[in-house]
Structure formats: C-alpha cells, structure tokens
Amino acid sequence: MIIRNLRDKEVLETTYLAHGGATAQMILDSRILKEIGFLATAKLPPGNSIEPHIDPMEEIYFIVDGEGEMSVDGEKRHVIPGDAIWLPTGSSHGLKNSGDKDCVILVVASPIS
C-alpha cells in the first residue's frame, strides 16, 4: 500500500507551474503507477488561467474548491465544486478562475493504450 499526502516531501518536490497559471503537484505518477498516467492537484488563483492546451492522453478535471470557466474544444461552461470534466485525448482545454478564491482541482490522466 502506498499513501501520499499533499504535504509529503515526494509531492512537494514535484511542484511546477502548469500551463501558465496554476501551481501543480504530482500526487501519484509513473514512479508508482502502472496503468494510470498520474493524479495531480492544481491551485489556480483568482483571475489566473490554465491556458488552452492539448494533451496526448485522456484526462478528468475534478473541481474541489472555487469556481471557474472551463473551455473544451471551444465549448465554455461554468464549473463549481463537485464537477468532474472529461477531457478526451487531443481536445483543446483550459480553465479560467472566475471566482474570488483559489480554484483547486484534481487531475487524473490515463495514457493511450
């Protein structure tokens, strides 16, 4: 059994700037996972954006806290805590924090088999 906490050294050491606007960290990734690409968390400050981008894998964004405007292949929707957004492989997607507090998301990614 492997358990990771957001405060663990192994998680904190992975901190990076994700797509221009969010601070992200890998909770679990290829160092441990065999079939799933990764589980990450990202914090997007008010007014910041995860710039539209395309990833070579299927992803799910899960909104934990805050709110924003999610864009997937040109379609825009308001998202709130509890929303899960499926992002097909090759889709253009981005997220803008439209609220007044941090938008916190979990990202699960799965590589193409």
Is residue 2 domain-resident? no
Is residue 4 domain-resident? no
Is residue 29 domain-resident? yes
CA atoms within 13 A on the CB side of 96: 9
- Which domain, by its residues, includes 52? 9-111
Is residue 57 domain-resident? yes
Query: Which CATH number characterizes residue 13's domain?
Result: 2.60.120.10
Reported as a pLDDT band with limits 50, 70 and 90, residue 113 is: low
Is residue 25 domain-resident? yes
pLDDT of residue 19: 93
Per-position b or e across 99-111, b if 16+ CB within 10 A of its CB: beebbbbebbbee
Is residue 56 domain-resident? yes
pTM: 0.93
Residue range 49-61, pLDDT digits in tens: 999 999 999 999 9
Is residue 1 domain-resident? no
pLDDT of residue 111: 81
Is residue 3 domain-resident? no
Contacts of 113 (CB under 8 A, 6+ apart): none
Backbone angles phi, psi at 12, to 5 degrees: -60, -35
Q: Give the chain's domain count.
A: 1
Distance CA 87, CA 84 (A): 10
